[in-house]
């Protein structure tokens, strides 16, 4: 099998796994508090990522990286997974899955906005059109199409979903300049975050889950939203001779996610969600083509 074919298969596997994340979040939150889901998922992901690092023979890099730049990794762990997933899961707890996941998908457009003050970039006409498309789509989704009335299923949930895009964009900007091994770096983030999340869970909700289903869903989230899937995606990009060919697979994710949300969670997909997504995806594509 050629490297490009392997890259395509690994990329498709990663996209399929990420497409189930919104459904897994909502299933887990039926039985778990947000802080419980966060703690179990982060711990699972930390174990999985360290296992991958050990299998790759790179375990010695974990303490080496931490000694070199401890403050950097403390900040990165605070951004992702702690703050990002705490805020995102709170949004999922308050909103229908289709709204939370689609609004969160606008993070790439937020990235273009934050690149102006943080990286000194300018917004071109394409960027402005992308931003306009993306956030008109967000308003349509958040209001279920009732744009003039501006009524939300949860105003706080929409605000949290938007804040999660800010945190993820900040994390992306900070990690893009990190030249270290990406999987080792991510494993270190999760190793730092896991005891913090477990302590918070113990203090505010208790560590024992109310049912096996909630714990199973949390473990699934840790493996297939946070941990193993990142390794698959990173490997796919490394193997591909044309990175954009694999990278563009990510645009399958929101539509596949709606299929799982509709069939497994039983959410009726609102036409406004499809209209909003039809605006957000072109906005993201336009913004990426500009870059």
115-164: pLDDT as tens digits? 888 888 888 888 888 888 888 999 999 888 887 677 788 899 999 999 99
pLDDT of 170-203, one tens digit each? 998 888 788 899 999 999 999 999 999 999 999 9
Q: What is the pLDDT of residue 287?
A: 67
Length in residues, the chain = 291
Average pLDDT over residues 79-86: 96
Tell me the per-residue pLDDT of 234-286, one tens digit each, with 9 for 90 and over.
888 888 887 777 777 888 888 899 999 999 999 999 999 999 988 888 888 77
> Is pLDDT of 39 > 90?
yes
Q: Is the pTM of this model over 0.95?
A: no
- Give the up-direction half-sphere exposure of residue 14: CA atoms within 13 A in the CB hemisphere: 24
Per-chain mean pLDDT for the chain: 90
Q: Name the token pair of 36.
A: 């419980």
210 vs 81, more confident? 81
* pLDDT for residue 18: 92
Q: Where are the domains of the chain?
A: 3-290
Predicted pLDDT at 288: 66
Of the ranges 37-46, 104-113, 265-274, which one carries the lowest mean pLDDT score?
Answer: 104-113
Those residues whose C-beta lies under 8 Å from the C-beta of residue 12, and which sit 6 or more positions away, are 249
> Does residue 107 have a pLDDT over 90?
no
**Mean pLDDT of the region 43-70:** 96
Neighbours of 1 (CB within 10 A): 7
| pLDDT for the residue numbered 210 | 67
Give the mean model confidence (pLDDT) for residues 212-228: 90
Q: Tell the burial category of 66 from Cβ atoms under 10 Å away from its Cβ (0-12, 13-18, 19+).
A: middle
How high is the pLDDT of residue 69?
94
- Averaged pLDDT, 40-56: 96
State the average pLDDT over residues 201-210.
Answer: 84
Q: What local confidence, expressed as pLDDT, does residue 118 receive?
A: 86
Q: Quick one: pLDDT at residue 258? A: 93
Measured from the Cβ of residue 84, the count of other Cβ atoms closer than 10 Å reads 21
């Amino acid at each position: 099998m050629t490297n490009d074919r392997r890259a395509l298969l690994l990329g498709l596997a990663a996209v399929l796994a990420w497409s189930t994340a919104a459904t897994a979040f909502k299933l887990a939150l039926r039985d778990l508090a947000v802080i419980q889901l966060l703690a179990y998922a982060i711990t699972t992901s930390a174990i999985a990522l360290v296992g991958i690092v050990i299998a790759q023979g790179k375990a010695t890099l974990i303490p080496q990286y931490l000694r070199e730049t401890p403050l950097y990794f403390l900040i990165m762990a605070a951004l992702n997974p702690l703050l990002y997933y705490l805020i995102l899961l709170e949004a999922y707890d308050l909103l229908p899955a289709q709204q939370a996941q689609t609004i969160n998908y606008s993070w790439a457009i937020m990235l273009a906005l934050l690149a102006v003050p943080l990286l000194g970039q300018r917004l071109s006409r394409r960027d402005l059109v992308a931003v306009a498309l993306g956030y008109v789509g967000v308003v349509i989704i958040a209001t279920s199409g009732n744009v003039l009335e501006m009524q939300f299923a949860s105003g706080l949930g929409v605000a949290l979903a938007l804040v999660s895009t800010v945190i993820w964009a900040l994390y992306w900007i900070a990690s893009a300049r990190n030249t270290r091994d990406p999987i080792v770096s991510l494993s270190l983030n999760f190793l730092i975050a896991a005891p913090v999340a477990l302590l918070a869970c113990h203090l505010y909700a208790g560590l024992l889950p109310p049912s096996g289903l909630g714990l199973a869903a949390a473990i699934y989230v840790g493996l297939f939203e946070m941990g193993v899937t990142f390794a698959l995606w990173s490997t796919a990009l490394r193997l591909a001779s044309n990175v954009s060919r694999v990278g563009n697979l990510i645009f399958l994710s929101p539509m596949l996610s709606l299929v799982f949300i509709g069939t497994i969670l039983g959410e009726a997909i609102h036409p406004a969600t499809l209209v909003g997504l039809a605006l957000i995806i072109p906005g993201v594509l336009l913004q990426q083509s500009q870059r």
